[in-house]
Chains A and B, each alone.
Chain A
Amino acid sequence: MTTISLPIPKRPVHPTGVWSWITTVDHKRIGILYGVTAFIMFLTGGFEAMYIRAQLAQPGQDLVSPEVYNQLFTMHGTTMIFLAIMPMGAAFFNYIIPLQIGARDVAFPRLNAFSYWTFLAGALMLNLSWVLGGAPNAGWFGYAPLTSSVFNPGHGIDFWILSLQILGIASLAAAFNFVVTIINMRAPGMLLMRMPLFTWMTFITSLLLILAFPVITVALIQLLFDRQFETNFFVPAAGASPVLWQHLFWIFGHPEVYILILPAMGIVSEIIPTFSKKPMFGYPVVVLSGVIIAFMGWMVWSHHMFTVGLGPVANSVFALTTMAIAVPTGVKIFNWIATMWRGSIEFKTAMLFAVGFIWLFIIGGLSGVMHSSAASDAQQQDTYFVVAHLHYVLFGGSIMALLAGIYYWFPKITGRLMNETVGKINFWLVFIAMNITFFPMHFTGLNGMPRRIYTYDSDMGWDLWNAVSSAGAFMLGAGILLFLYNAITSARSGEVASADPWDGRTLEWSISSPPPEYNFEQIPIVQGRDPFWAQKYGGVAMVPVAGGSGEDAVHHSIHLPQPSYWPFVASIGIFIGSFGVLYINAASWIGVAVAGIGALITMIAIYAWSLEPVNDPDDGAAH
């Protein structure tokens, strides 16, 4: 055999420093990267929200121009959905899932790093639009034909299309990774029906992502072609029906709603049993309801289109399917309450946020059922009533649960507890401010205030409740800053956490806080649900997998995936190439050249990635 010498550098060895983060493939570090980036994006989207609420605080204000206002609400929605809530979920998937299933990393560690860097590329690209000619301004839903070059000649929409495509690549790579991880990497005995509920909801969410993103990808490619190459997919002047875009968008967009809420439900399903000292009530039903919600999530998209004129038959069908989805959702709520029933409930901050989630999600769920009644929804569609509803499910639901998750897993991740006193003030401030902000929007909506208007007259009767909403929004902003303060100070000087500060039930609490790089010294054999609880109180010992006993033997038998430069480089290629595509209609040859350079970088990176050598695992540094 001949040896082919490859011009590919050796794997990087950087235990600390910036390069250790850039080249890391450790799911825990990637989880932290996701979490920190997503929180910065959450603050960015929140800042946009503050601007919006300042503009609407009084009638006839002139803080921002209508054009900038339209950019603000478009970016607020896009940022919160794609750059804040989704990646915050991804942060938890990354950090927690391998720990919950008894694995040492995800199935494809380098792909995992690639997902993060590509996500970051998409986030940067979208926000660079602010300084490169204006942000997208057609709403996060980007209805045709308002996104066509005729009605939207600038580059904002191109930034929106390409960054969503990049984010789609990141999300798809991550979703495949987690599906494979959850199917293949579980510790022995961790049967599907023994998996923690957060793992279950992550699994379902990842499947939804895999099925939903291709739809928006196709729609965005069509739109890109309309704008860059003058095709006519959504151009009414050429005979196209703009309703096609709405169908494509919402066939993606409604499952997307469940992509945002199912991880939240998974987090709450971990926290409530822990702080009630009881196992999840009706575990199989809760799993099944998650599956049913995900499945039925595909049958309800046209409830976003009740006023489009699809006709009474379509409207009736989608009204009924939408109502039906309330059943599995209600089942989850009843099971959470039943878990608390006769429990021993300790209201640590994480539990406060989780119960706060239930309250707010009940309200958001009920207003959702009200929207499902297509005939009555004709009055509420596109009014502030919808804005109230969606913020009750996305803030009251997703964000509250994500904050609960941070309070819950913070000690596991940092080795320190978040301050409980500040935490409780934080909870009440956020909970009260959230209701002051969003509840009045029900009133303004029913009083006829449409969404997405940058100004309103004082004779409409909307002044009072808009002022209240704005005041609440600034309180809410303060609540989030208080959270940030608590997180930063606690990470630096909080009380040191034990391995199991909450008397947890699942595997992540059985290892030290923070976990060692290799997670589990010995992979446990799982005997049932809540294995760590069973070990502590049921006398069911977790037997380690045979073959690794004794300290020395353990350390020499754990071979972790090694760091790599190439996921980062591949993402840079995508980032550069996308700029080329973006400017093809403005400067065709330069655009094509830049796109080609980007594609080349990505191809070289993937080639090197596939063939890069592995360092000798026993030379010490690669552990």
Chain B
Amino acid sequence: MSTTSSRSKAYLGGLLLLSSIALLTGCALDDPQSTFDTVGPVSQSQLMLFYWIFGAAVVVFIVVGAVLAYTSIRFRRKSPDDNPPQTHGNTPMEIGWTIVPVLLLAVVAVPTVMTIFDNANSPDPGALTVEAVGRQWWFEFRYPHPTDPDEQVVTANELHIPVGEVVNINLESRDVIHSFWIPKIAGKVDMVPNNSNTIWIQSDEAGEFYGQCAEFCGEAHALMKFRVVAQPKAEYDAWLLGQAAPAVDAVEPLAAEGQALFEGNVAGCWACHTISGSAKSRGSVGPNLTHVASRGLIASGIIENDQAGLRSWLTDPCESKPGNTMCTGAAVYNNPDKALDEKQISALVAYLRGLD
């Protein structure tokens, strides 16, 4: 469907089907992960293709179903002595109902192949390229540094993109297979260890969109989410500059205490988390927390990033996300003798809240 006229026809047909589906499902089409509420060209083309095939399927269902229903009613046994003619077949009919499906499938196959190629090749290979890395169970995003070509800006679970522009994403995994999926922007592509994939996305609307891992990846697969923030170019540039800056040491006393804990061996946070600007915190097991306070959610899109959310996460990460590495790997969580007390958690919360 490359020409404008066929596309607009498809839209019209799509609209009709859309309303019938809306009627059928009774659900709002703007739910957070609805594949009908598309905001970019990739999901849009996938939706148009879906409507096209769905339309063909509905036609087939109605025709075959009508014949089946008619046959079932019309030819019911009237008397036990019914003796129907013992017909064995009819070659022209057999040929007919082999050829008609072939033609119908051709109608589906052509736009399918066209869309496969359209979506596989980025329309702008030189555009912004972000690395997305799947980890159990969160997403890491690595941007080219705005000023230093040798550096990357690393963040997690919140992908910022400039609105209306092509963004190329290299998909990787550090452990098992994950899948990168933002239903309103683009269908999924898997993140496979040792097999890098690429996907291109574009959002034509500013806003926050839901993403979720779609390939089963272990215990907390259900809780592996992320958000895409599509924002005007200027806002995006400002955000990237902000993220590129190193964190500033905490000054407020409670926060400073938190930083000391973070970088000390009692809590030991530094071993797994990087905070750019800190000499100690260079770990790469967990998410980069340099500007964690700037994110809307923590724990890969499942907990509000506020006082209460941080506190609950730091108190018992196993409760919020069973099996996660912090819960299973950090001494403060898997050894009751080393558990953090209320005051220590308050200090850590204060420190993290200051990393904006």
Contact = CB atoms under 8 A, between A and B. Distances in A.
Nearest to B114: A375
Contact of B194 (A240, A333, A456): A240
A359 B115 contact: no
Contact of B116 (A236, A315, A323, A347): A315
Nearest to B100: A330
B117 A331 contact: no
B45 interface: yes
A281 B189 CA distance: 44
Interface in A282-315: 282-285, 307-309, 311-312, 315
A174 interface: no
Contacts of B34: 446-448, 461
B116 A342 contact: no
B216 to A, nearest CB: 4
A379 B212 CA distance: 12
A373 B112 CA distance: 6
Interface string A63-84: 0011100100000000000000
Interface stretch (A88-96, A119-127, A162-170, A361-369): A361-369
B46 A307 contact: no
B149 interface: no
Given A66-B323, A320-B113, A448-B31, A369 B195 contact: no
Interface string A35-71: 0000000000000000000000000000001110010
A243 interface: yes
Contact of B197 (A137, A309, A315): A309
Contacts of B136: 151
B226 interface: no
A465 B21 CA distance: 14
A503 to B, nearest CB: 9
Contacts of B214: 307, 381-383, 450-451
Contact of A376 (B84, B93, B98, B112): B112
Interface in B52-90: 53-54, 57, 60-61, 64-65, 67-68, 71-72, 75-78, 82-90
Interface residues of B, number: 94
B329 to A, nearest CB: 14
Contacts of B86: 278-279
Contact of B87 (A278, A358, A369, A460): A278
Contact of B222 (A236, A362, A455): A455
Contacts, number: 290
A311 B116 CA distance: 9
Query: Which of B28, B121, B181 has most A Cβ within 10 Å?
Result: B181
Nearest to B112: A373
A604 interface: no
B33 A342 contact: no
Interface string A327-353: 100110111011011111111000000
B320 to A, nearest CB: 11
A363 B64 CA distance: 11
A343 B35 contact: no
B221 A453 contact: yes
A240 to B, nearest CB: 7
Interface of B: 21, 24-28, 31-36, 43, 45-47, 49-50, 53-54, 57, 60-61, 64-65, 67-68, 71-72, 75-78, 82-90, 93-94, 97-98, 101-102, 105, 108-109, 112-113, 115-121, 136, 171, 175-177, 179, 181, 183, 186-190, 192-195, 197-198, 210, 212-223, 322-323
Given A283-B89, A362-B65, 6 more contacts: A307-B214, A375-B49, A376-B115, A381-B187, A446-B25, A449-B33
9 contacts: A278-B85, A281-B87, A319-B113, A338-B90, A344-B83, A355-B68, A376-B49, A379-B183, A447-B27
Interface of A: 65-67, 70, 137-139, 143, 145-146, 151, 236, 239-243, 276-279, 281-285, 307-309, 311-312, 315-316, 319-320, 323-324, 326-327, 330-331, 333-335, 337-338, 340-347, 355, 358-359, 362-363, 366-367, 369-370, 372-383, 443, 446-456, 459-462, 464-465
